[in-house]
Structure 1
Amino acid sequence: MSSKKFLIARLNHETNTFSPVPTPIEAFAPVYGGQAYQANKGMRTAMSAFIDLAEAEGAEIVSPVSAMANPSGPVHAAAYDELTRRIVEAVPGCDAILLDLHGAMVAENSSDGEGDLLARVRAAAPGVPIGVALDLHGNITPKMIANADVMVGFKTYPHVDMYETGEQAGRLLLEMWRGAAAYQVVWKSLPLMSHTLRSTTLSGHMREAVELAREMERGGVPAVSVFSGFSLADIEAPCVSVVATCSQGEVAAGKEAVQALAGKIWERRTDYIYQSEPLSDSLLRAQSLAKDATQPVLLLDHGDNCMSGGTCDTMDVLQAALELGLSGMAVGPLCDPEAVAMLTAAGVGAELEIELGNKVSLEHIGLHKKPLRLRGTVRAVSDGSYTVTGPIYTGQRCQMGRAVCFDIGAAQIVVTEQTHEPWDLGVFHCVGIDPTRFRYLLLKSRMYCRPVFVPLSAGLVECDSPGVTTSDYTRFTFDHVSRPVFPLDSI
């Protein structure tokens, strides 16, 4: 085959439409052309797998953009227009298209970020095969299905199979490009808004559903993906769906398989709903766990998790813990640039009183918070950088902006300039804190901290605080979601 020009690009964003955290183009830290290639080559992204497959074919690679922003509010229209324009304008002349997308992007000017992009790509390249790798939390839409020939989603959460997902999607697409196969994407969407804490593949029914998808693949369906959806988005269907890439001669069988798996999920729909306990009960349970423990008890503040669009500055869990008398706590990362500036200016060893956290307004979801006044000592100041030791994003260099260790006696708090997921012990080590020496670790996290921190802990307590990533749907107004839908409605 003489023509070998492949378009390979990455554009990832999970949009929490209730989040006040802005998403301008700078949030994506986009790189273009050769830099986009270099940013992914040798990494564990789906785009990296696409690159390896293309190079094995001896193909010319066109890499217009690689851009990823942490979950936050709707993508600014200018950012969406610019990043998608670069992909669409690179399409002409390409013989295969491989896109590393998320699946739950909402922009100010597009409620279906990936669907609108794929429709434009299809229009610019009629007849050219299009393959897509997606996050397990993708909100799949009819437009996405109609404009992709191959679609594969992650099968792990916490996500550790990004490369493998890209490899599977890329392998199937190259079979189409060679003329060795013809594929079609089929799907079934369910009126089920699952909670993110019930989408983990470490346990529970989501793990069982993903294993059934794997069994279908072993039985001959080229690709089967279970998407939990991302429900913190006020769009038509932020819902669970099942997607299969099947041979065009096996479309009927593919649809039957998808319907069967979707039916099993629907039968167990209550298992995808997280029931939060009162915060006071969670902290009392943690106190009991810590009584005779020789390792820290994890307190996960999943109501304010930046990897779902949280501000990382709400103080509810820390305040309640202090009022209950908990001590021996390591806390963070808590984002408060104003406090970092003040503490850094004061310098190591300085003792002062500051107003900490609760500075990003949550009035739009009816929450009225004031900063917490705390007195303490500056123990350390750093540039807030560290290298992930694994298992997620192993080897990646992370930046939290400047970071400070603020010691208030009952707790040592890591205060940062930027929101940051605690991927690694490095979030504490970078300011001289050894997290294993504390009675409690209060992390603003939902899932990604677990592979590293759970093995070091005596137990885990999930704390649902009032924030924009809470599991309490009653705090949000869903104006655009198609009804009825479970659990907002009894169906």
Structure 2
Amino acid sequence: MRFVIALMRHETNTFSPIATPLRAFSRGSSTDGPLYGDDAVRACQGTNSAAAAFMDIAQRQGDEFVMPLMANAVPSGIVTAEAFESMAGTIVEAVRAGCDAVMLDLHGAMVAEGFPDAEGELLARIRAVAPQVPIAVALDFHANFSDALVGNATVIAGYCTYPHVDVYETGARAARTLMAALRGEAKPVLLWRTLPMLTHMLRQTPRTQPMKDIMDRAMAAERDGEVLNASVFGGFPLADIPHTGLAVVIVADGDRMDTGQRLLDELCDMAWERRADFVFPLEPMQTSVARARELAHWPVVLVDHGDNCGAGGPTDEMTVLGEVLRQGLDGVVAGPFWDPAAVAELVGAGVGQTVTLDVGGKTDMPALGLKGTPLRLTGRVQCITDGNYQVTGPMFTGMKLSLGRTVVLDVGGTLVVVCEKPQEPFDSGVFTHAGIDLSRRKYILIKSRQHFRAGFEPIAKEIVLVAGPGVCSSDYSQFPFRNLRRPIYPLEPHTTAKHA
């Protein structure tokens, strides 16, 4: 058989001020823009990605495959029309050339100019040129669902973890069902539902309640053969589009649809009954930092979750670092902060030089009425690197990432890491590649939500969540939602419709 395998991933925060052009789809590459053909294959092989699982399965079966595209961007604002047309066109043309099936490693929360569900639009275009070709899709836990996305897929499987450490396994799950269908051993039928509820991303993880029992039940049903695949999606709540919300997708065998429907109802009922538990209670930023200052077991990981590029933030909001310095926490390493202009100035000064400059605060966030405010720092340039490192932790293991040129600035014992490219610190390589020994730091200040747990939870003695300002805030009252399906919980607390 011949397969088309492609990777196209982006989580779009529609409130982010940072547009996403084609050149941004270079995550995992030191070049600008996507990788194509053999370059894409080489970049994916041996990594914790669904695309790697697709390739491994095809190779084990002795089948052929082509990989027209690997396009992966750090979460940010809306994808430009030009970028989407280029990526979608590349994939569709590969399918048009002929194949027995398509296997796609997608995110599920990409919003492009003119297309609130970019993945659904991609699948519709594939269907237009190959109406009968089976399509298996591996999706992020934060996918949002439309009729187009589900209606044009043959198989869908989603990550069961957050942090996402089972990406390869998700690809394998989707591919197994696809291969069973190709052999005539299964007749996949998709059953799905989106609930009218915005979950908070700090309350979504299947590691703990309220999601744990729900995801455990779905995984058990798939493992025990009740259904072909069962996936629960926390959804990406920072997308102001009509199909945002928690969703459940079941791939049932055509001969056991009743079983699949009962499971769908059960999982949706569990989630809806726990809707209040998916709301994250906020603590004032100053209180969180003060609480961290009193802890006596180090290192303490301070997590600024309001400005996380893993959910579309620019990562140049400096309020939390300013508060950490104001309250006098010592032995701190902080970052990485995105500021190419500051990097250029620091590189120009050189290692060992003392520099006074404004760091961060270059980005306004008009959707929330926030103005960028730089933080003036004086420090010694301790280290300059190319920012390249390979992930050694459990999330996206083996992937090569780049922060661009990166500088470590020593500000009175506090190490501030400034970089040219934004990157959520889900792997300690953001610091260790620059020679920073995290075991010798009392406080590690990073911008993340849950993914930091993959690389930093094993070394943390304490974790303190800090609600800094930004377009990733957990305070939904700050966001001018206009396109959500309404009513929706918790924006309308008395929402009673169980199923959308």
TM category (shorter chain) comes to over 0.9
Partner of 1:71: 75
Determine helix, strand or coil for the equivalent of 1:155. Answer: coil
1:422: Cα distance to partner? Answer: 1.6
Partner of 1:242: 248
Residues 381 and 402 of structure 1 are in contact (CA less than 8 Å); yes or no, is this contact kept in structure 2? yes
Q: Deviations over 1:7-45 (max 9, x none)?
A: 211111111111122211111131222222222223221
Partner of 1:276: 282
1:364: Cα distance to partner? Answer: 3.2
Partner of 1:461: 464
Determine helix, strand or coil for the equivalent of 2:14. Answer: coil
Choose the corresponding residue for 1:160, options 143, 162, 165.
165
Question: RCO higher in 1 or 2 (8 Å CA, sep ≥ 6)?
Answer: 2
Residues 426 and 456 of structure 2 are in contact (CA less than 8 Å); yes or no, is this contact kept in structure 1? no
Q: Deviations over 1:382-403 (max 9, x none)?
A: 2122232222233333211111
2:400 aligned partner, one-letter code: R
Residues 48 and 398 of structure 2 are in contact (CA less than 8 Å); yes or no, is this contact kept in structure 1? no
Partner of 1:119: 124
Partner of 1:9: 6
Q: Deviations over 1:323-382 (max 9, x none)?
A: 222222111111111111111111122112111111111133201232111211111112
Quick check: 1:435 aligned with 2:438?
yes
Choose the corresponding residue for 1:211, options 212, 216, 220.
216
Query: How many Å separate the matches in 1 of 2:55 and 2:434?
Result: 37
- Distance 1:339-1:393 versus aligned 2 partners, 3 A rule: same
Partner of 1:109: 114
Determine helix, strand or coil for the equivalent of 2:444. Answer: strand
Query: How many Å separate the matches in 2 of 1:36 and 1:299?
Result: 36
1:37 aligned partner, one-letter code: V
Query: How many Å separate the matches in 2 of 1:133 and 1:426?
Result: 27
Query: How many Å separate the matches in 2 of 1:155 and 1:201?
Result: 7
Runs of at least 5 residues in structure 2 that lack an aligned partner in the other structure = 27-33, 496-500
Query: How many Å separate the matches in 2 of 1:41 and 1:384?
Result: 22
2:79 aligned partner, one-letter code: V
Query: How many Å separate the matches in 2 of 1:221 and 1:306?
Result: 36
**Mapping 1:356-395, distance limit 5 Å:** 356-395=359-398
1:410: Cα distance to partner? Answer: 5.0
Choose the corresponding residue for 2:323, options 293, 302, 320.
320
Q: Deviations over 1:407-434 (max 9, x none)?
A: 1115210111111122333222233322
Choose the corresponding residue for 2:202, options 197, 200, 215.
197
Partner of 2:477: 474
1:235: Cα distance to partner? Answer: 0.2
Query: How many Å separate the matches in 1 of 2:234 and 2:61?
Result: 34
- Between the aligned residues of both structures, percent identity stands at 46
Partner of 2:334: 331
Choose the corresponding residue for 1:23, options 17, 20, 36.
20
1:271: Cα distance to partner? Answer: 1.5
**Mapping 1:388-403, distance limit 5 Å:** 388-403=391-406
1:192 aligned partner, one-letter code: M
Determine helix, strand or coil for the equivalent of 1:86. Answer: helix
Further displaced range: 377-386 or 266-275: 377-386
Runs of at least 5 residues in structure 1 that lack an aligned partner in the other structure = none
Residues 318 and 373 of structure 2 are in contact (CA less than 8 Å); yes or no, is this contact kept in structure 1? no
Q: Deviations over 1:160-195 (max 9, x none)?
A: 111111111111111111222211110111001111
RMSD value, Cα: 1.4
Query: How many Å separate the matches in 2 of 1:457 and 1:279?
Result: 20
1:443: Cα distance to partner? Answer: 0.8
Determine helix, strand or coil for the equivalent of 2:450. Answer: coil
Choose the corresponding residue for 2:46, options 42, 45, 48.
42
Query: How many Å separate the matches in 1 of 2:4 and 2:428?
Result: 37
1:210 aligned partner, one-letter code: M
- Distance 1:175-1:219 versus aligned 2 partners, 3 A rule: closer
Quick check: 1:130 aligned with 2:122?
no
